Amino acid sequence: MTSPATTPRGSAVFLLDQVLGEGRLMPEALSGGALHRLDPADRARAQRLALDTLRGLERADRLLARHLRKAPPLHVRNVLRLSTVEICQGGDAHGVVNDAVSIVAADKRRAPMKGMVNAVLRKIAAEGPGAWGKLRVPRLPKWLRAPLSDAYGAPIVAAMEAAHFAGAPLDITARDDPAAVAQMLGGTLLPTGTVRLPQGGQVSGLPGFNDGQWWVQDAAAAMPARVLAAQRGEAVLDMCAAPGGKTMQLAAAGADVTALDISPARMERVRENLARTGLTATTVVDDALTHEGRYNAILLDAPCSATGTIRRHPDLPHAQDGSNYGALMELQARMIDHALGLLGPGGRLIYCTCSLLPDEGECQVEEALARHPGLATDTAALNLPGIAPEWITPEGGLRLRPDYWADLGGMDGFYIAALIR
């Protein structure tokens, strides 16, 4: 395994080595200090380069295969992949090639391959940009594409893949006045109340961040709290709270919020976000399956496959293989059952997952309805601005997909259901 580098391109290659070689998700690599040697601007650039490479990996490999007689070691292959994507997306070929050669030369074991890297990338610089757009949109790996095709059909999966490849704009939730925040940042106010900005830039440097006027949150991820529609003074539990976006939405509505998470480190991030935004919630580090209390409403954003977030987290299908999904589904069912027991009379439970797999959404709710006589879905709660009627599912939930709002930049995949007795 290579060591973290001190340049954005070198650090981006290190991230690729972690994801593609070690099977680590990008957030895990970042929390381990992968980019700690870089200043904030270079850190953001390194992440963008790595994410762009993961999105374009299939195209890069197809172009490189034309010029490689055999696959080089993974680290060198990742240098070639990153460089190919950057060149084909308009990067300065001279600077990209020089940096690629330097990265390979810095590793004594692989330094003899710098000549090959130079030669291959010069061919890519000559032929790649013209060929890039003619290649198919990169596909999901078979282990994930197959169940999604079974659930939605091949044309819809292809539309999702196009959304994944396009990446994600920057979505933010305003603490007080979305229209004013949109005007301040030059953003677009989406029909659901989220403010959307073009992709890129250093988030912490944008106006309003330091004084807590807004926080980053995908438009789809902001919907569960809107469906819950917390009232002032209500006792509301955010059952798996970190990193705190939904907690802050509920607190901004005036609810008496308890934010629950099993991880002390993740809960510290919730506290930091609350402090920055000037919002108040009771933070509790506890196991959701053993937590006790009585609440008017509960928001359960259950641990899941996160397959709905691939357009912003393209590392996920490369670092996972679906082998743990069965255990996640069992956990989701147990969490639903326990959450229902924490509700007071007339209480409501919002169950949601950032997953595209029906087994983690529609099927979970169908099975919960069967297990709990008198439980029902509240479809009226889904009647919100920006929600299309065709997004409502037969069992009474809300299915959001990456290919929705294609002309606006898409959204994460999410499933949301409001459950009432």
Is residue 225 within 8 A of residue 249, CB to CB? The reply is yes
d(CA 142, CA 272): 39
Q: What is the DSSP letter of 91?
A: -
Sheet holding 195-197, edge to edge: 188-189, 195-197, 170-174, 214-216
Q: What is the DSSP letter of 243?
A: T
Nearest-CA neighbor of 417 among 376, 371, 385, 372? 376
Per the annotation, does 321 bind a ligand? no
Per the annotation, does 245 bind a ligand? yes
d(CA 385, CA 360): 25
Exactly one of 88, 304, 352, 354 is catalytic; name it.
354
Distance from the Cα of residue 241 to its chain's centroid: 16
d(CA 223, CA 405): 15
Long-range Cβ contacts of 386-393 (<8 Å, 24+ apart): 386/190, 386/191, 386/192, 386/193, 387/192, 387/223, 393/362
Strands (E), 81-180: 170-174
Active site residue 354: yes
Per the annotation, does 241 bind a ligand? yes
d(CA 218, CA 194): 8
Q: What's the helix, strand, coil split of the chain in %, to 5?
A: 50, 15, 35
Per the annotation, does 32 bind a ligand? no
Is residue 368 within 8 A of residue 336, CB to CB? The reply is yes
Per the annotation, does 352 bind a ligand? no
CB-count exposure of residue 129 (10 Å: 0-12, 13-18, 19+): middle
Per the annotation, does 244 bind a ligand? yes
* Structural tokens at position 36: 């700690």
Per the annotation, does 88 bind a ligand? no
Binding-site members for S-adenosyl-L-methionine are: 240-246, 261, 301
Which residue numbers are catalytic?
Answer: 354
